Amino acid sequence: MNATTSSPGPESPADTVNRIRGEFADITRRLSHASDELTALHGVLLTQTAAPAQPVHTPPIPPQPTPTQAPQLHPLQPPTATFPPPLFTPNYRVPQYAPAPPRVQPLPPPPRPLPVPPRASTAEKMTAASEGGLIGKILAGIGVAITLIGVVLLLVLAAQAGLLRPELRVAGGALLAATLFGIGVRLGHNVQKRSGAVALVATGVAAALFDVLAATAIYHWLPDYAALLVAAVLAGGGLVVAHVWDSQALGLMVGIPLVVLAPFLAGGDDEILVAFLLTYVAVTLWIQLGRNWTAMFITNTAVGTLPVLYGLVAWSSDDQWFFVIAASLNVVLAIVSVLVLMRSSTRPVILALTSSATVFPMFGAVHITGGPLASTLLGVTAAILLALAVAGRPLGVPVPVRVVWLATSSVTALVACASILEGAGLAVAVAGIAVVTACAAAVGKVSGTGGDLNLTVAVIATIATGISLAGTLLSGAVAQLLFADALPTGDQALMLITEVLTLAAIVVLAWSWAQGAGGEQLQAIWTVGTVAALWQVTLLCVGLGALIGGGSDAGIRGGHAAATIVWVLTGAAGLLWARRQRGSARTVTLSVSLSIIGAAVAKLFLFDLATLDGVFRVIAFIVVGLLLLSLGVAYAQSLNSDDDRSVTPR
């Protein structure tokens, strides 16, 4: 059987074109389908990142026919969907991923409320205080006080009542002191028993000092120098225990009873009492080395200062040299103590303030020593404190301590001036201090060193200048404005010197405060300075006129006329200066300048017109009128010039 197989004939060009066109169309369709699948996959991924999403089912792509031969198409017939098989599997599905469950952080448990501790009862508090040693310390302190009072009674009241012989009293006090000291040192070897041992040692040392003081002041068995030597050995040697045990309480238990009870043993001999206590202060200084014992330093300062302060009331002019020596030694001991102890102290400012308190007895020295000696004593003290404040940096003196000493020096200098001067002379001295401190503040501003120290100098200069301004009022300067014979000729000359110095202090001080200031603060400084300087210029003009006129009315009138003219000139200068300023600074300067000119015009009509006569009235009105006229013309032209310059040409 013969089978006949027909083979396809060759493609015509039209068939080839149609076949290629169909293939391109199929490729385009498949690419479009792939793009749709990628878009769907992108949406699924976005949905999974935002929230748990439902799985997306993509419908399968229907299979495409795979004919063995493309149909014959007309050249103008569009291609059909029957083309060769696809280049990749059409049943591709987008892989589905199950979203991961969100990780929920467990909430922390709520915080448990802190248990409120129950309030301790009084019995529990007393038990805790007993276990902490507080009750023992209180009882020991009370025991020290009562025992030492008993020793004083033994040495004083027993002698007055004649109960025991003097030898027995002194020997009994010495035996009691030695016994207490020995037992205290013995017990102090045990640290747990040291609190009680401190009280025993302190009582023994204080009792021994009282015994020596009684033997010297009451019974006169020991010369003064021998008593001081023995007291130095007992105090310095006995308080070695305080240094070794690092016990400030031991020093306090000796110093406080000493300053309270020692006057009862002096028997009215204040000189031996002061010398005795100053010796104690001096020999116990080394015990505080390397210790931060502020309380003991304050106590020792009181031990040396209170008897000297009491001497202001009890002593007379016969004791002036002893007072000078005692007060000077007290101040020197305090200052030296600060220089030695401030390296180990955490409160150097308190030490400096305490040492400054030793100057107080000198403030009343004029009642015992007289003016010249008191002024010299205070002046030397002020110079020493000033030198330490200015040159204390190489000695390691911190700035706060230097500030305290500088302030103390300025106050001491003022009191020194007041001790020897009064009236116009005192005003000159105060004005001189104001000028010196103002210049120091200006130098500090220029150098830019010192910080708080320069600020303190500026504050002191301001206070001194204010006192000087008030001094001109109290010294008759206001009366000099109205009456020709208000001050004698000598006082008028001193007043002129005061006014010149005060004016210089105001100018320098205003410049010093103005450095570094700005804005409204700067304007306020210059405003206050200008008003104060204008007041001093007025006093200066009137005082100079009175001095030149020999205290006549004509001289005062001439001074007032000159003062009015100076007021107008000052206001005019301020108005011209305001042209160079802008904003609030210009407003303030204009307001102040116009106020000064207004005050000058008011003075011209209310005072000068009624008080001045003759040529002075004519001069005042003409000069003031010409000044205001010239100022008005010049100021108007300057404003027009400014307006012209501010217009921008087109």
Residue pLDDT, tens place only, 498-547: 888 888 888 888 888 887 766 667 778 877 888 888 888 888 888 787 77
> Between residues 284 and 448, which one has the greater pLDDT?
284
Do 461 and 482 fall into the same domain?
yes
pLDDT at residue number 329: 95
Token pair, residue 570, equals 């000052």
Do 245 and 316 fall into the same domain?
no
Would residue 349 count as lying in a domain?
yes
3-state secondary structure 381-396: HHHHHHHHHHCCCCCC
Would residue 477 count as lying in a domain?
yes
Q: Residue 505 burial (CB < 10 Å; 0-12/13-18/19+)?
A: buried
H or E segment to which residue 339 belongs: helix 320-341
Locus of tokens 């032209």? 637
pLDDT digits (tens, 9 = 90+) for 99-138: 555 565 565 666 666 565 566 555 555 455 444 456 666 7
pLDDT at residue number 466: 87
Residue 4: is its pLDDT beyond 50? no
Phi-psi region of 345 (alpha: psi -120 to 50; beta: other; left: phi over 0): beta
Do 203 and 260 fall into the same domain?
yes
3-state secondary structure 234-296: HHHHHCHHHHHHCCHHHHHHHHHHHHHHHHHHHCCCHHHHHHHHHHHHHHCCHHHCCCCCHHH
Mean pLDDT of 132-157: 74
The C-alpha atoms of residue 141 and residue 158 are separated, in whole angstroms, by: 25
* Best-predicted range by mean pLDDT (13-22, 155-164, 243-252, 385-394): 243-252
pLDDT digits (tens, 9 = 90+) for 578-629: 777 777 667 777 777 888 888 888 888 887 777 777 777 788 888 888 888 8
Do 368 and 384 fall into the same domain?
yes
The C-alpha atoms of residue 532 and residue 466 are separated, in whole angstroms, by: 10
Query: Among candidates 631, 627, 607, 632, which has minimal Cα distance to 617?
Result: 607
Do 264 and 297 fall into the same domain?
no
pLDDT at residue number 337: 94
pLDDT confidence tier of residue 380, bands split at 50, 70 and 90: very high
Would residue 123 count as lying in a domain?
no
Mean pLDDT of 145-163: 72
Do residues 250 and 242 lie in contact, with contact meaning Cβ atoms separated by under 8 Å?
Answer: yes
Would residue 88 count as lying in a domain?
no
Do 239 and 292 fall into the same domain?
no
pLDDT confidence tier of residue 2, bands split at 50, 70 and 90: very low
Token pair, residue 523, equals 């304007």
Do 189 and 261 fall into the same domain?
yes
Nearby residues of 487 by Cβ (< 8 Å), 6 or more positions away = 424, 476, 479, 480, 495
Residue 443: is its pLDDT beyond 70? yes
pLDDT at residue number 85: 47
Annotate 11-43 with DSSP letters as a single string: PPHHHHHHHHHHHHHHHHHHHHHHHHHHHHHHH
pLDDT at residue number 233: 92
pLDDT at residue number 317: 77
Nearby residues of 432 by Cβ (< 8 Å), 6 or more positions away = 501
Do 433 and 410 fall into the same domain?
no
Do residues 196 and 140 lie in contact, with contact meaning Cβ atoms separated by under 8 Å?
Answer: yes
Pick the last residue of a domain from 497, 518, 539.
518
What is the Cα 619 distance to its own chain's centre?
A: 54
Residue 339: is its pLDDT beyond 50? yes
Helix (H, G, I), strand (E, B) or coil at 354: helix
3-state secondary structure 82-142: CCCCCCCCCCCCCCCCCCCCCCCCCCCCCCCCCCCCCCCCHHHHHHHHHHHCHHHHHHHHH
Would residue 382 count as lying in a domain?
yes
Do 141 and 264 fall into the same domain?
yes
The C-alpha atoms of residue 637 and residue 643 are separated, in whole angstroms, by: 10
Residue 89: is its pLDDT beyond 90? no
Do 257 and 163 fall into the same domain?
yes
pLDDT confidence tier of residue 280, bands split at 50, 70 and 90: very high
The C-alpha atoms of residue 457 and residue 455 are separated, in whole angstroms, by: 5
Mean pLDDT of 181-190: 88
3-state secondary structure 198-223: HHHHHHHHHHHHHHHHHHHHCCCCCC
Residue 232: is its pLDDT beyond 50? yes
pLDDT confidence tier of residue 385, bands split at 50, 70 and 90: very high
Pick the last residue of a domain from 471, 503, 518.
518
- Give 319's DSSP letter: G
> Between residues 27 and 175, which one has the greater pLDDT?
175
- Give 227's DSSP letter: H
> Between residues 521 and 189, which one has the greater pLDDT?
189
Would residue 128 count as lying in a domain?
no
pTM, two decimals, is: 0.67
pLDDT at residue number 83: 44
Would residue 524 count as lying in a domain?
no
Residue 637: is its pLDDT beyond 70? no
The C-alpha atoms of residue 41 and residue 94 are separated, in whole angstroms, by: 7
The C-alpha atoms of residue 211 and residue 229 are separated, in whole angstroms, by: 14
Nearby residues of 543 by Cβ (< 8 Å), 6 or more positions away = 477, 480, 492, 495, 496, 499, 559
Do 480 and 368 fall into the same domain?
no
Pick the last residue of a domain from 382, 417, 452.
417
Mean pLDDT of 200-218: 89
Mean pLDDT of 189-214: 87
Nearby residues of 635 by Cβ (< 8 Å), 6 or more positions away = 575, 576, 579
Task: Count other Cβ atoms within 10 Å, centred on residue 27.
Answer: 13
Mean pLDDT of 67-81: 46
Do residues 627 and 565 lie in contact, with contact meaning Cβ atoms separated by under 8 Å?
Answer: yes
- Give me the amino acid identity at 514: A
Do 398 and 430 fall into the same domain?
no
Mean pLDDT of 295-306: 93
Average pLDDT, the chain: 77
Integer-rounded Cα Rg, in Å, for the chain is: 50
Residue 402: is its pLDDT beyond 60? yes
Task: Count other Cβ atoms within 10 Å, centred on residue 254.
Answer: 29
Domain count for the chain, please give it: 4
Would residue 257 count as lying in a domain?
yes
H or E segment to which residue 182 belongs: helix 166-188
> Between residues 191 and 640, which one has the greater pLDDT?
191
pLDDT at residue number 121: 56
> Between residues 98 and 203, which one has the greater pLDDT?
203
> Between residues 197 and 478, which one has the greater pLDDT?
197
The C-alpha atoms of residue 134 and residue 141 are separated, in whole angstroms, by: 11
> Between residues 323 and 48, which one has the greater pLDDT?
323
Please give the residue range of the domain that contains residue 404. Answer: 285-417
pLDDT confidence tier of residue 68, bands split at 50, 70 and 90: very low
